[in-house]
């Protein structure tokens, strides 16, 4: 059986079957015999990598996600070691770790969500209205592939059933990442990460003395966090709330507002 995806067009001309069908009705020229019959192609691409999705219950889930985000920023803000770093280093770490921390928050708060296909008429509306958007307004929509990665990551954490202290120390190892470029206090950050890892290891041994592999499983699961892009988190959970605002700017305001 052929499992290859046949929904991807072979040229830009046919990249949007809806648009092609509209324009082809206005084209009186004889169709090329080599062209595919695009009337037989569904209007939506069923390829898992291409399907764009949105939240099924945005009002409820966005409220839960916003609460998790506020807790995430407060967690960083209340860390004495974080506050001792230069403000620019705080900003760099915030930019690099807010999304992984938020995902850990989703896991800890047991936030469940469902998605549905993005309304199919959104592209057609832009065509008919001839709306021209600037490059900054063109945003990458969440895909089913990205959501599947996020769900897989959450399920892994739920299967581990981490305690609040395990989550706290794991968040510490995530925040204090010395590999983030341009840190002035990289050595200090590396020491803090090592302390957090040692504390996590000690907590795991205390809570699960018979499970010698748990610490390694936690770190392995945490490595999945880097495969989930901040843009997916932003567009899926916060774009319905913040509109065109820059989420990172809002996070900076929350973090540095004393």
Residue 163's pLDDT is what?
A: 98
Half-sphere exposure of 227 (CA within 13 A, CB side): 15
The long-range contacts involving 31-37, CB below 8 angstroms and separated by at least 24 positions, are: 36/10
Neighbouring C-beta atoms of residue 242, cutoff 10 Å: 15
Residue segments in the chain with a per-residue pLDDT below the cut of 50: 1-3, 8-15, 29-31, 33-45, 133-137
Query: d(Cα 55, Cα 150) in Å, to the nearest integer?
Result: 13
Q: Is 3 helix (H, G, I), strand (E, B) or coil?
A: coil
Structure tokens at 248: 């990172």
Beta strands 115-117 and 53-55 are antiparallel
Q: CA dihedral defined by 26, 32, 37, 43, rounded to 10 degrees?
A: -50
Convert the pLDDT of each residue in 186-226 to its tens digit: 999 999 999 999 999 999 999 999 999 999 999 999 999 99
Residue 6's pLDDT is what?
A: 52
Residue 227's pLDDT is what?
A: 94
Residue among 251, 244, 238 nearest 55 (CA): 238
Query: d(Cα 162, Cα 139) in Å, to the nearest integer?
Result: 34
Q: What is the pTM of this model?
A: 0.78
Contact 37, 133 (CB under 8 A): no
Q: How far is CA 112 from the centre of its chain?
A: 15
115 torsion bin: left (phi>0), alpha (psi -120 to 50), beta (else): beta
Residue 213's pLDDT is what?
A: 96
């Amino acid at each position: 059986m052929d499992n290859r995806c046949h929904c991807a067009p072979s040229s830009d001309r046919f990249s949007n079957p809806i648009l092609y069908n509209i324009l082809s009705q206005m084209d009186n020229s004889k169709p090329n015999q080599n062209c595919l019959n695009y009337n037989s192609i569904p209007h939506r691409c069923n390829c898992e990598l291409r399907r764009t999705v949105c939240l099924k219950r945005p009002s409820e889930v966005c409220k839960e996600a916003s609460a998790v985000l506020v807790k995430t920023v407060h967690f960083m803000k209340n860390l004495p070691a974080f506050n001792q770093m230069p403000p620019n280093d705080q900003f760099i770490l915030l930019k690099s770790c807010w999304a992984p921390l938020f995902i850990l928050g989703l896991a800890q708060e047991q936030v469940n969500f469902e998605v549905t296909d993005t309304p199919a008429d959104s592209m057609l509306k832009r065509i008919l209205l001839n709306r021209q958007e600037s490059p900054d307004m063109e945003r990458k929509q969440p895909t089913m592939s990205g959501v599947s990665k996020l769900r897989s990551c959450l399920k892994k954490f739920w299967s581990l059933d981490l305690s609040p202290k395990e989550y706290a120390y794991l968040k510490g190892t995530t925040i204090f990442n010395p590999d983030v470029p341009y840190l002035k206090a990289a050595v200090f950050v590396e020491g803090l990460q090592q302390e957090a890892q040692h504390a996590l290891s000690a907590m795991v041994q205390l809570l699960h003395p018979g499970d010698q592999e748990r610490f390694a499983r936690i770190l392995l699961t945490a490595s999945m966090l880097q495969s989930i892009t901040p843009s997916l988190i932003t567009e899926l959970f916060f774009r319905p709330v913040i509109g065109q605002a820059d989420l990172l700017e809002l996070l900076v305001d929350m973090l540095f507002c004393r």
